[in-house]
Amino acid sequence: MDGTILGQGTFVASSANLANPNTGVASIGQSNATIIQIPSGADWLRVFNYTQFGTVGAAGGAYFNGTANADVGVEFWWQRGMAAGTGIVKYKASASAVLSGDTLVSGGFTLYDPSGQSVGSQPLLGAPVATTASTNSTRPAVTHTADSSVIVGSVVRMSNTAQTDVNGVDMVVGTVTDSTHFTLLTATNALATAPGAIGGAGFYRVVNTNPLFYPRRRFVTNITQAVNAQVSTSVAHSLTPGQEVRFNIPAVSGMIQLNPQPLNNYFPRGVSTPAIVVSVVDAYNFTINIDTTAYTAFTFPTIAQQPSSFPIVVPFGEDTATSLASPTIQLPVDANNVPIYNANSGILADSTVNTGYLGMILGAGGNGTELTTPILGPSGSIAWSSGNVATGDVLYWVAGKSTYGGL
């Protein structure tokens, strides 16, 4: 077995940003998909749900996408050659101690390589999905052909719609109504201005990965006129208090005073300091030290103003004094509050790092081939108490590289 590499690890199922699917009643629900790091890559992977192995199947069914019709998987197997997102699963049916077997149609295992260079790994962009309509709203509601890959928190990139100001701008999905409807952006980072007309037919693609290097430039959807202006970004900004930023606001967006002014030492107009993040409101909003009350109101470019540049915010450095004075920790996190891999913290939180690693995406589950109803996947399940407190399963995994053989 010369050359074989084995790895192992454990993790707790993630409930970040999830809520009890049966509020006020104890229940079992799906977890967030989890990515485990496997630096060597893997030819095979086995995952055991340590918590669920020791109990009978969820009585009455576990919740999956809002419906209590899922069984809970307890053991999972994948090896190279199996289609992305699939895997072999053993599960326990409702209130049963008997192990049953099936294969997952989706929500199983997918190789992860954010550089996009590994064969068979998750693509950086999903396949195009046709849309039939987008509303003229600061949070455009999109109607599309059936696609269950979009969930709340997904990032999508629109194209070919009549909303030329929305096309090409990565935006987080704030609401998923069903498999043919979702709404762009959240209540806190809606566009400052509606596009001006409905979108009509077009396409979207799911953006699976962030740019490799942190910190990242982001599109700005809104900036308030306030003593400490609040900046909204179209996807999670991942900035921390103390980080300096520079804006590139096009004339069509109004608030050009926030741009670096060459005649003011490249500071925004009327101030003697660069723009500094003073607080992080949420994953999509942060406030800065600049008083924008006297600046021109911010607008998001409309269809009628196209073509135009788009407002962006670019991380620029760190103001050590602000970061040291901040009561919150400077730890860059993603939209799910998970620390960004390889990023530094504290006064070095702004440092440029490569966030890439090889790993495996453990899915939240999907339909079984034989069962045709959902089975919770290798990311584990969440036990919700009647007080809506989440407890994630404990899972163990073993991965390896094989010496010989093929697909």
Partner 1 sequence: MNALRSEWGAIGNLRFLISSIGSVSPNASSLGADVYNIFCVGMEAYACIEQDGYSASFIYRPPIYDGPLALNVSVGYKFAEVPRITNDLWVINLRATLA
Four-point Cα dihedral 387, 10, 395, 374, nearest 10: 100
| 268 vs 380, beta carbon nearer partner 1 | 268
Minimum separation from the CB atom of position 217 to partner 1 (A): 9
Minimum separation from the CB atom of position 314 to partner 1 (A): 7
| 60 vs 168, beta carbon nearer partner 1 | 168
Of the candidate residues 22, 179, 306, 351, the single one contacting partner 1 (CB under 8 A): 306
Long-range (24+ apart) CB contacts under 8 A made by 153-157 are 153/17, 153/335, 153/336, 154/206, 155/206, 155/207, 155/235, 156/182, 156/184, 156/204, 156/205, 156/206, 156/207, 157/125, 157/204, 157/205, 157/207
Minimum separation from the CB atom of position 246 to partner 1 (A): 6
Whole-number Å distance between alpha carbons of 386 and 400: 40
Considering only residues 369 to 388 of the shown chain, the ones binding partner 1 according to CB under 8 A are none
| Residue 174 · residue 186 · CB < 8 Å | yes
| Residue 345 · residue 329 · CB < 8 Å | yes
Minimum separation from the CB atom of position 91 to partner 1 (A): 37
Q: Coil, strand or helix: which one is 262?
A: helix
Q: In terms of DSSP bridges, do strands 202-207 and 275-282 run parallel, antiparallel, or are they unpaired?
A: unpaired
Of the candidate residues 203, 295, 300, 384, the single one contacting partner 1 (CB under 8 A): 203
Nearest to 58 by CA among 366, 363, 388, 374: 374
| 96 vs 159, beta carbon nearer partner 1 | 159
Instruction: Choose one: 41-49, 67-75, 226-234, 260-268; the region binding partner 1 (CB under 8 A).
Output: 260-268
| 109 vs 310, beta carbon nearer partner 1 | 310
Kindly state the number of chain residues that form the binding site for partner 1, as judged by CB under 8 A: 18
Of the candidate residues 68, 125, 133, 353, the single one contacting partner 1 (CB under 8 A): 125
264-303 footprint of partner 1 as x/- string (CB under 8 A): --x-------------------------------------
Whole-number Å distance between alpha carbons of 73 and 249: 49
Minimum separation from the CB atom of position 355 to partner 1 (A): 17
| Residue 8 · residue 398 · CB < 8 Å | yes
Considering only residues 154 to 193 of the shown chain, the ones binding partner 1 according to CB under 8 A are 157, 159-160, 164, 167-168
| Residue 32 · residue 154 · CB < 8 Å | no
DSSP state of 16: T
Q: What are phi and psi of 163, to 5 degrees?
A: -85, 75
Minimum separation from the CB atom of position 166 to partner 1 (A): 9
Minimum separation from the CB atom of position 242 to partner 1 (A): 18
250 makes contact with partner 1 (CB under 8 A): no
Minimum separation from the CB atom of position 159 to partner 1 (A): 3
| Tokens found for residue 118 | 């590994």
Q: Where are the beta strands (DSSP E) in 208-265?
A: 213-214, 218-223, 230-233, 243-248
Of the candidate residues 68, 83, 93, 124, the single one contacting partner 1 (CB under 8 A): 124
Considering only residues 310 to 339 of the shown chain, the ones binding partner 1 according to CB under 8 A are 314, 316
Instruction: Measure CA 367 to chain center.
Output: 22
Which residues of this chain interact with partner 1, rule CB under 8 A?
124-125, 128, 157, 159-160, 164, 167-168, 203, 205, 246, 260, 262, 266, 306, 314, 316
